[in-house]
Amino acid sequence: MVESICRDFKNYFSRHGLIHETTCPQTPQQNEIAERKNRHILETTRAILLGAHVPNHFWIDDVTTAVHLINRMPSKVLKFKTPLQALSTVISLPTALMLSPRVFGCVAFVHLHKNQRTKLDPCAIRCLFLGHNRGKPLDRYSPTIEDLRLKYPIDNYVSTKTLPEPLKTFADALSSCQVHTSVEEAMNDPRWVQAMKEEMEALLKNKTWILVNLPKGQKTMGCKWVFSIKYKVDGTVERYKARLVAKGFTQTYGVDY
């Protein structure tokens, strides 16, 4: 097992006064807890793969499913809580992580968009369910049509294999922080609530708007929150940013202004 010595772990050890000792090469006996968990994951993976009668080349999806299930099963070590329940007492978790599990390898149907079929073609294709997609509400499938395989959005995927170690750390930090797209989700995280509070205070301090009576026959222009994260050079989070922007696209030239 490759031991984790990333910057986040080093900072955690430093804050809690812990000394990090690495194991000797080729000596898994010195890392028995992590090695035992690896065995647990492998045994679960093997059982799921054999029970579902799925080809072995889907082992990556199977491992992901095994970890997904283990994180949702009660553990005696955690006083019969699930790992996710224990984690939820430390940080807020997205609701997508709490979705009910599906049976790995079961029959599923993927909807085809209109541009992928004619009027007489089926609206969906038969495929296999291959696990959950990293906590998102969407699921992974392996359709019979290879180019329609929905495993992960390739346009958002960037390989870090060729990057130097500092840039890998930065890329990992970018992918590990969740940027909310709705106010409802952001309100469950005190960091985003504080960012929204700071934005409102700045807008009021700068007198960004003036309250006036709405003219007859006119409509108000809506607004929305836009969330982003600012990072330091080493990849750690510098601050959570929230901006309140106007929906200018709702107005029509010559009518509203």
Sign of CA dihedral 50, 51, 57, 59: negative
Per-residue model confidence (pLDDT) at position 137: 47
Predicted confidence band of residue 194 (pLDDT cuts 50, 70, 90): very high
Q: Are 242 and 141 members of one domain?
A: no
Q: Are 12 and 53 members of one domain?
A: yes
Residues 6+ apart with CB under 8 A from 41: 63, 66, 67, 70
Residue 159 has pLDDT above 70, yes or no: no
Q: Are 112 and 191 members of one domain?
A: no
Residue-wise pLDDT for 12-32, tens only, equals 888 888 888 788 888 888 888
Domain that holds residue 79: 7-84+92-156
Q: Are 18 and 51 members of one domain?
A: yes
Whether 100 maps to a domain, the answer reads yes
Residue 166 has pLDDT above 60, yes or no: no
CA angle 57, 61, 63 (to 5 degrees): 100
Whether 26 maps to a domain, the answer reads yes
Whether 58 maps to a domain, the answer reads yes
Residues facing 243 on adjacent strands: 226
Residue 69 has pLDDT above 50, yes or no: yes
Whether 214 maps to a domain, the answer reads no
Whether 45 maps to a domain, the answer reads yes
Per-residue model confidence (pLDDT) at position 198: 93
Mean pLDDT of all residues in 135-152 = 48
**What is the number of domains present in the chain?**
2
Pick the more confident residue, 7 or 162: 7
Whether 255 maps to a domain, the answer reads no
Q: Is 49 exposed, middle or buried (0-12, 13-18, 19+ CB in 10 A)?
A: buried
Cβ pair 94, 87 in contact under 8 A? no
